[in-house]
Chain A
Amino acid sequence: MNEAIVIPMEHGLLLAGILFLIGLLGVLVRRNIILILMSLEIMLNACGLAFIVAGAHWGVADGQIMFMLILSIAAAEVSVGLGLLLQAHRRFGSLDVDQASRMQG
């Protein structure tokens, strides 16, 4: 009977933190709206991972429920985002956020 390998919570949170940073960097660096939306999705999934890790540490189901909530929120947000993206492509003729930026500031 080998012991179950327990991954410490800190490691899981660290992984989630790295994923979160990758997503954040993507949002900041990318210029294409589709890739920005993808990076946003990575950030939200990093949060979901952090919730699952924390929920597993405490042995409660709350973390997994929050993950499902996050999934549905991300879906809603991205679907509106894709709608806007279609409009943007039609009106600006490109998906580059710099070309879509016309207001000062």
Chain B
Amino acid sequence: MITTDLLALLPIITLTGVILVVMMVIAFARNLALTCLCCSIGLALTLAAIAWVSINLEPQYVTPLIVVDEYALLFSSIIVIGAFFICLLAYSYHADRGENQDEYLMLMLLSTLGGIILAHSAHFASFILGLELVGVSLYAMISYPVRGFFSLEAALKYLILSGVSSATLLFGIAFLFAVTGSLSFQGMADATAHMEHASVFVLIGATFVLAGIAFKLSLAPFHMWTPDVYEGAPAPTTAFLATVSKGGIFAVLLRFFVSFDGFRFEAILESLFWVALLSILVGNILALMQDKIKRVLAYSSIAHIGYLLVGFLAASAVGGKQLAIEASMFFLIAYFVTTIGAFGVVTIMSGSTESEHDTDQLSQYEGLFWRRPLLATFFSAMLLSLAGIPLTVGFIGKFYIFAAGVQSGLWQLLAAVVVGSGIGLYYYLRIIFSMTKQPVSEDEIDIPLAGGWALGMVSVLLVVLGVYPTPVVEWVTSVARALT
């Protein structure tokens, strides 16, 4: 390995170093504030390393496993920024929950490292490594509350189903490997370049791989685990699971499809079309029947990944590729901001509760506007952004997806997006409406300092990106141009 290789790996090396430091700090002093400080500084350093690499180095392969380019750096930076906010929120959540909460933040950093490796991977070995690093740390993060029943149940469900999906994914990769004799994305693309129609082995392999990925992204019909795991896991974990883990996996999916050119196989497109359609409809319709905020958000995240897949599918049309990739990336950024914000509110509401359940009953949010006006305003902004109301980042994201879909002529899917957004408006507004009712309980809601600031920053980001998205749009445009 030469020096530039090591320099290109600087973000990964930095984060690994930070994890080791945090581990040592926990061994010497069990102090959650100190651990959180180390983690935040570490994530900031990682972000600085990403910026440095992006400015100073040319895109390059570091071993066949890892590619360092603008695309990888974009996804790494949104993953690191997301992890930073969740780190602050997690501190507020865990601060008053007794001893031994320190390792939670370390596990979160490990999972973030997995996400960054996913964003950089150009080979199935690094893909699997990143995926499992995200997954195995998440099992522990989900079951972290030692006394709760529900978190344990959620962790067991996630462990078993995630294990099955990993096995499915690996089995699919083995088939693709059997056909092509290569495990790198580029090698597979070269070996199948002459194929007009996919051979049986390629189809079996691709189906298994897509089923595994669809499970991890909680797309219908592989979404069964989502509401239970979202409900049972502690709120910061849920935020992390919904953003960092899904973002990293989507990064690999997009990179693999663009370099493999999976868009030329009709059968694969057809199945992805149905998956997207089902996810949008199932997610939105089932969300109507929920009265727990976390379950509503779980189903709405299924629908949102469905919207994201519409943008992804738009890349299949000739000439629409760049816009579609741009749209997917922007939508993912919007999804990150909004989801972290929404679960951030749940985190802060649950911060002072004694029960093993997080505060997520709709009735517990009644009258929030009278009890905590600012918190309720933030939450309303997040929900409006999820619904795609103008002046929020969610609107720009959805608009972008729509534009990409129109350019590629995906009319049925666009109709589903419209119907889904219409249904979505109902259950988002229902939450906002119940927050304006007269309060039933007068319990004091404490807003912790770190979590409050994190939530404030996310809200500001949501509005700023919704009003003035140009810098981010330029950024994703240049990345999409470099990728295609």
Contact = CB atoms under 8 A, between A and B. Distances in A.
Contacts of A105: 224, 227-228
B228 A91 contact: no
Interface of A: 9, 13, 16-17, 20, 23-24, 27, 33, 36-37, 40, 43-44, 46-47, 50-51, 53-55, 57-58, 60, 62-63, 65-66, 69-70, 73, 76-77, 80-81, 84, 87-88, 91-92, 97, 100-103, 105
B174 A16 contact: yes
A66 B178 contact: no
Interface in B138-180: 139-140, 143, 149-150, 152-156, 159-160, 163-164, 166-167, 170-171, 173-175, 177-178
A100 B228 CA distance: 12
A80 B152 CA distance: 12
Given A54-B178, A57-B178, A40 B153 contact: no
A54 B149 CA distance: 43
B136 A91 contact: no
Interface of B: 124-125, 128-129, 132, 135-136, 139-140, 143, 149-150, 152-156, 159-160, 163-164, 166-167, 170-171, 173-175, 177-178, 181-183, 224, 227-228, 231-232
Contact of A70 (B139, B150, B153, B170): B170
Nearest to A36: B160
Given A62-B183, A66-B183, A84-B143, A46 B171 contact: yes
A73 B128 contact: yes
Nearest to B146: A87
Contacts of B224: 105
A21 to B, nearest CB: 10
25 contacts: A16-B174, A24-B164, A36-B160, A40-B160, A43-B167, A43-B171, A46-B171, A47-B167, A53-B178, A54-B175, A54-B178, A57-B181, A58-B181, A70-B170, A73-B128, A73-B132, A77-B163, A77-B166, A81-B159, A81-B163, A84-B152, A84-B159, A87-B143, A87-B152, A91-B149
Nearest to A73: B132
Given A23-B167, A40-B164, A50 B156 contact: no
Contacts of B228: 103, 105
Nearest to B155: A84
A51 B174 contact: yes
A27 B163 CA distance: 10
A80 B183 CA distance: 28
Contact of B177 (A51, A73, A76, A97): A51
A86 to B, nearest CB: 11
Given A36-B160, A43-B167, A69-B125, A102 B132 contact: no
Given A36-B160, A84-B156, A103-B153, 9 more contacts: A40-B163, A57-B178, A58-B181, A62-B182, A66-B173, A77-B135, A81-B159, A100-B152, A100-B156
Contacts of B181: 54, 57-58, 60
Centre residue among B149, B170, B175, B227 by max chain A CB count within 10 A: B170
B166 A73 contact: yes
Centre residue among B140, B143, B159, B228 by max chain A CB count within 10 A: B159
A38 B174 CA distance: 21
B321 to A, nearest CB: 30
A76 B136 contact: yes
B177 A20 contact: no
B177 A63 contact: yes
Given A24-B164, A27-B164, A62-B177, A47 B170 contact: yes
Contacts of A36: 160
A80 B159 contact: yes
Contacts of A55: 177
Contacts of B164: 24, 27, 40, 43
A20 B170 CA distance: 11
Given A77-B132, A81-B159, A84-B156, A40 B178 contact: no
- Chain A to chain B: the 8 pairs with minimum beta-carbon distance, closest first: A50-B174, A54-B178, A47-B170, A43-B167, A58-B181, A40-B163, A54-B177, A103-B228
Contact of B139 (A9, A47, A80, A97): A80
Contacts of B128: 66, 69-70, 73
A88 B143 CA distance: 11
Nearest to A27: B164
Given A69-B129, A80-B140, A84-B152, A9 B178 contact: yes
